[in-house]
Amino acid sequence: MFPSFLIGLREGLEAALIVGILVAYLVRTDRKDRLTALWIGVAAAVGVSLVVGAILQFAVDNLGDEALAPFVGFTSLLTVALVTTMVFWMQRTARRMKSDLEGHLSQALAAGPVAILATAFFAVVREGIETALFLWSNVQATGGSTAALIGALLGIGAAVALGWVVYKQSVHIDLAKFFTITGVMLIVIAGGVLAYGLHELAEGGVIPTTATAFDITSWFDAEAWYGAILRGVFGFRPAPTVLEVAAWFAYVIPVTWLFLRGISAAPKKSLPNKVAAQ
């Protein structure tokens, strides 16, 4: 449940902050009459994200055994690539996210309500699709459960609540620290998704199968609480292959180092703690 909660919280808060910035700009510029178009764009983006998730699940339920493993494997690798890209994109663009969004919305106001709808849609749909892919891949990697879905919904709900209090300036949140910590945790979870994706590709015969790195299945209880945590956070399996272990370390260590190095090199207060109009 925790990994899906974290994914929902992190990705949901990014989307909530984007929406908050757009809404605040319309309120501040006395263009509340355009809020309807903005919310339609947001709703459309959420709808597209849900459709993406539904399509992925439909594929899992209907693909044959021979096609399923390669599909899940390639989709998992695509998810890791997207998550990695978005983590570094957020790191680089956070400092100017507010001004960029307001600039796009200012141009959209001059063009009309359809442009405002499109601005909101494209600003949110990227986060939504990434969330759908990451949640789906993580659920596949951990075996899937109702708890994972509940965790995702709780995370998204918490993100909406946090986005609201930031918009209302009801509480001070160190967003820079929040996105740094959750960014590292998402990288770790993505490492597990990567290892799982390679495992599925090997199972499907797409890539060669390597030797087992170690095997502790004789005493490791994968269904116990510690097994669920290790599987959910690290993608841990009690009998992984050499390729899976090597891929996990080869991804998590350098990507985490590059991410933290970029954070330390960036100017302080790279993320605004307030998005509401003054």
CA distance 13 to 91: 15
Cβ-based neighbour number of residue 40 at 10 Å: 16
Distance CA 131, CA 50 (A): 10
* Cβ neighbour number for residue 41 with a 10 Å cutoff: 26
User: Which amino acid appears at position 252 of this protein?
Assistant: V
Rounded Cα distance between 48 and 121, Å, is 10
Question: In the prediction, which pLDDT does 7 show?
Answer: 82
pLDDT digit string, tens, across residues 33-80: 888 999 999 999 999 999 998 898 888 888 877 888 899 889 989 989
Query: Residue 25 in contact with residue 105, Cβ under 8 Å?
Result: yes
Q: CA gyration radius for the chain?
A: 20
Among 214, 64, 212, 81, residue whose Cα is nearest residue 137: 81
| pLDDT tens, residue order, the chain (278 aa) | 667 788 888 888 888 888 888 888 888 888 888 889 999 999 999 999 999 988 988 888 888 778 888 998 899 899 899 889 888 877 777 667 778 888 888 888 888 889 999 999 998 888 888 888 888 887 777 666 667 778 788 888 888 888 888 777 655 666 677 778 888 888 998 898 899 899 889 988 898 888 989 889 888 887 777 777 787 777 788 888 999 999 999 999 999 999 888 776 665 544 555 554 44
Parse the chain into domains and list their residue ranges: 2-265
The Cα–Cα gap between 145 and 56 comes to 16
Distance CA 139, CA 145 (A): 7
Indicate the DSSP class of residue 30.
T
* CA distances from residue 185 to 50, 168, 182, 233, 255 in whole angstroms, order as listed: 24, 28, 5, 8, 12
Residue 151 corresponds to which tokens in the numbers above? 């965790």
User: The pTM is what?
Assistant: 0.79
| Contact (CB, 8 A) for 232 and 140 | no
Residue type, 143: G
**178-204: pLDDT as tens digits:** 778 888 888 998 898 899 899 889 988
